[in-house]
């Protein structure tokens, strides 16, 4: 049993945020990457930074995969 005074970051991550941070999350089109880190107990600014880095990495991977797909289409058309 947990003490009622302790917070569980995975369950209480949103309630412990300040109002401006809650507004940022609710207004954000896709805060899922940031929420991942908030649920693990990271502070808002750190979660924001890591979520941003994850998002950029994902975009770079998608762009790379799109380029590979385009190259594959070109090579298949030449066959």
Provide the residue ranges of all domains of the chain, joining segments of one domain with +: 9-77
10-residue stretch averages of pLDDT, the chain, 79 residues long: 62 93 96 95 96 97 96 84
3-state secondary structure labels for all residues of 12-79:
HCCCCCCHHHHHHHHHCCCCHHHHHHHCCCCCHHHHHHHHHHHHHHHHHHHHHHHHHHHHHHHHHHCC
Q: How is residue 6 annotated by DSSP?
A: S
Q: What dihedral do alpha carbons 53, 56, 58, 63 form, nearest 10°? A: -160
Which pLDDT score, from 0 to 100, does residue 1 have? Answer: 46
- CB of 2 closer than 8 Å to CB of 8: yes
Which pLDDT score, from 0 to 100, does residue 3 have? Answer: 53
């Amino acid at each position: 049993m947990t003490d009622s005074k302790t917070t569980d970051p995975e369950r209480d991550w949103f309630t412990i945020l300040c109002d401006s941070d809650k507004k940022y999350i609710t207004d954000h089109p896709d805060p899922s990457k940031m929420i991942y880190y908030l649920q693990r107990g990271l502070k808002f600014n750190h979660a924001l930074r890591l979520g941003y880095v994850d998002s950029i990495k994902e975009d770079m991977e998608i762009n790379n995969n799109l380029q590979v797909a385009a190259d594959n289409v070109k090579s298949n058309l030449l066959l």
